[in-house]
């Protein structure tokens, strides 16, 4: 059974190391700046001080992230909540799907219901998985439903699940390849002890992190982003994007916004992706959005560059659309509004500084940047990357994770080159709003990692009494998508027909 946890004492040590490295960096570049002529000194000093202050603020913020301590009363209140897991499925690998479903039944705090929606998959009917699941869920006392519906996209699949779970207090969203750590459900509920918290993001790590170096570097980059950028946002209750593989919302956040959620358009086109960031935006309008670093989920990362680039382009296009909505609909009184504005400013300034130092300085002023400048991004990356080592996995030794951490220069080069180009291309092509993946089946299969991950056992033959009734009747055939009306002023009416 896969499991993982965050080693909190390690993060304290890492924070000290990061601050020491930051101080050394500032001292070094103060010396470099004042060792040149006055004009160059002025330009370099402004650059390094600005970057240092941003880095220092970011470091300070992500070390402020705290998980609330539960009293006996608040624990009882959380235990009384009805937690429903929504599982949309489209052309998923059966091995990964069953691995995830098994993880739901091995939780320290069991979900109250799990609702699975097969959104018109063309690669199989998951009959074996379904037969096993309905019996296993019945034995565990978890209410469940399994619907097979016409393809309408991930959002509509989630809406079908919401329709049959009116008793839910908390909706836990996930992907069809999500595999929860044993305490994920228990931990992701903890921040809801604060009434103002509307959504909680978990930490996502790669199930197949040893498949190849692309997955290793992706896992490193993704985990560090969550434990640095998103932890800083969480410290002020302003997480801007929850991760699809694991996130939790107060039920009203989703129910009250189903109309606009299912009918979102941008430039007259239906938006099929960026569902998690839209749900997070709904939550931000009502209260706080935070992260729970102790709620960990495994998910399958792309193993081919073509798959990764499509995923990243989808993220960047969705990020651009969501930026427009945040500036338009978020109140300036919300910290998320200003954090969002600062991120765009930082991105633009970083791009300008890079062009200035590497192109303008040499060509116009005949001044080459200090050779040690090339070391700085790697120094910062290694310092922040230490957060990666705070996640302890059951399927990997610390020395293996250290080997991945040593690959930080690859992640930095990737971020500063190909990912930067993809980001700007995604911004310029944000009107392309289709999902663009899994049309030909699952992109990653559990069969290729049998030596690293325990495969689920074959589904047992049906025997004994039939499973008790599920939370709602499971649809055996194909259903027509259910369309929700909307009165939300920022969503145009549209009947989606695109796929994931």
| Tens-digit pLDDT profile for residues 90-117 | 999 999 999 999 999 999 999 999 999 9
Mean pLDDT, residues 191-215: 96
Instruction: Pick the most confident of 134-143, 431-440, 487-496.
Output: 134-143
497 domain-assigned: no
Q: Which two tokens stand for residue 494?
A: 């549209």
Average pLDDT, the chain: 83
Distance CA 412, CA 327 (A): 29
139 has pLDDT over 60? yes
Domain encompassing residue 306: 1-81+169-444
Find all residues with CB under 8 Å of 374, minimum gap 6, and list them.
none
Q: Which two tokens stand for residue 292?
A: 């729970």
451 domain-assigned: no
Q: What is the pLDDT of residues 438-458, one digit of tens each?
A: 555 555 666 655 445 554 444
440 domain-assigned: yes
pLDDT band of 43, cuts 50, 70, 90:
low
According to the model, what pLDDT value does residue 467 have?
36
Is 182 in contact with 3 (CB distance < 8 Å)? Answer: yes
According to the model, what pLDDT value does residue 29 have?
63
154 has pLDDT over 60? yes
The H-assigned helical ranges of 236-360 are 251-255, 258-262, 275-286, 305-329, 335-355
Percent with pLDDT over 70 in the chain: 77
The DSSP code for 447 is G
According to the model, what pLDDT value does residue 135 have?
97
According to the model, what pLDDT value does residue 356 have?
77
Distance CA 116, CA 85 (A): 8
Task: Report the candidate in 185, 200, 221, 230 with the shortest Cα–Cα distance to residue 84.
Answer: 185
337 has pLDDT over 50? yes
> Could you report how far apart the first and last alpha carbons of the chain are, in Å?
30
According to the model, what pLDDT value does residue 15 have?
65
206 domain-assigned: yes
According to the model, what pLDDT value does residue 27 have?
58
300 domain-assigned: yes
> Which residues share a beta bridge with 83?
170
Render 271-288 in DSSP notation, one character per residue: --S-HHHHHHHHHHHHSE
Distance CA 94, CA 441 (A): 11
Q: Which two tokens stand for residue 369?
A: 């940047």
> Which residues share a beta bridge with 113?
84, 143
- Domains in the chain: how many in total? 1
Range in 33-37, 122-126, 433-437, 468-472 with the lowest mean pLDDT: 468-472
Taken as a whole, the chain contains a residue count of: 500
459 has pLDDT over 50? no
153 domain-assigned: no
56 has pLDDT over 50? yes
Distance CA 462, CA 469 (A): 16
pLDDT band of 167, cuts 50, 70, 90:
very high
Q: Which long-range contacts (CB under 8 A, 24 or more apart) does 71-74 make?
A: 74/193
Beta carbons within 10 angstroms of residue 398's beta carbon: 12
Task: Report the candidate in 350, 326, 500 with the shortest Cα–Cα distance to residue 424.
Answer: 350
pLDDT band of 319, cuts 50, 70, 90:
very high
Beta carbons within 10 angstroms of residue 436's beta carbon: 17
């Amino acid at each position: 059974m896969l499991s993982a946890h965050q080693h909190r004492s390690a993060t304290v040590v890492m924070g000290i190391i990061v601050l020491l490295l930051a101080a050394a960096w500032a001292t070094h570049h103060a010396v470099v700046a004042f060792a040149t002529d006055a004009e160059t000194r002025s330009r370099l000093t402004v650059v390094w001080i600005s970057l240092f202050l941003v880095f220092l603020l970011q470091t300070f913020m992500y070390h402020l992230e705290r998980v609330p301590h539960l009293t006996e009363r608040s624990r009882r209140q959380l235990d009384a909540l009805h937690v429903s897991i929504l599982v949309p499925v489209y052309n998923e690998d059966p091995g990964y799907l069953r691995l995830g479903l098994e993880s739901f039944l091995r939780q320290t705090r069991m979900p109250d219901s799990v609702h699975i929606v097969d959104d018109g998959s063309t690669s199989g009917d998951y009959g074996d998985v379904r037969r096993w699941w309905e019996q296993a869920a019945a034995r565990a006392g978890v209410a469940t439903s399994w619907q097979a519906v016409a393809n309408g996209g991930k959002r509509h699949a989630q809406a079908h699940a919401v329709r049959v779970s009116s008793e839910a207090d908390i909706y836990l969203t996930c992907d069809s390849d999500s595999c929860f750590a044993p305490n994920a459900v228990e931990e992701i509920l903890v921040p809801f002890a604060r009434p103002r918290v509307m959504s909680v993001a978990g930490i996502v790590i790669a199930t197949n992190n040893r498949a190849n170096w692309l997955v290793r570097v992706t896992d490193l980059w993704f985990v560090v982003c969550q434990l640095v950028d998103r932890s800083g946002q969480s410290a002020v209750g302003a997480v801007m994007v929850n991760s699809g593989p694991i996130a939790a919302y107060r039920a009203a956040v989703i129910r009250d916004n189903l109309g606009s959620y299912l009918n979102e358009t941008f430039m007259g086109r239906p938006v099929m992706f960026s569902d998690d960031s839209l749900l997070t935006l709904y939550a931000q309008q009502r209260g706080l959005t935070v992260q729970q670093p102790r709620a960990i989920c495994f998910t399958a990362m792309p193993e081919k560059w073509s798959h990764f680039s499509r995923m990243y382009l989808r993220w960047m296009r969705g990020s651009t659309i969501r930026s427009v909505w945040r500036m338009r609909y978020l109140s300036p009184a919300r910290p998320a509004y200003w954090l969002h504005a600062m991120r765009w400013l930082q991105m633009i300034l970083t791009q300008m500084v890079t062009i200035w130092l590497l192109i303008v300085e040499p060509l116009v002023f005949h001044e080459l940047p200090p050779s040690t400048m090339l070391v700085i991004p790697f120094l910062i990356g290694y310092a922040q990357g230490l957060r990666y080592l705070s996640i302890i996995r059951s399927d990997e030794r610390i020395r293996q994770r250290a080997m991945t951490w040593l690959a930080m220069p690859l992640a930095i080069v990737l971020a500063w080159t190909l990912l930067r180009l993809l980001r700007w291309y995604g911004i310029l092509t944000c009107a392309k709003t289709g999902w663009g993946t899994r049309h030909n089946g699952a992109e990653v299969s559990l069969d290729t990692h049998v030596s690293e991950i325990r495969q689920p056992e074959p589904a047992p033959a049906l025997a004994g009494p039939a499973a008790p009734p599920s939370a709602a009747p499971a649809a055996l055939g194909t259903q027509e998508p259910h369309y929700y009306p909307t009165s939300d002023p920022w969503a145009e009416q549209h009947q989606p027909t695109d796929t994931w």
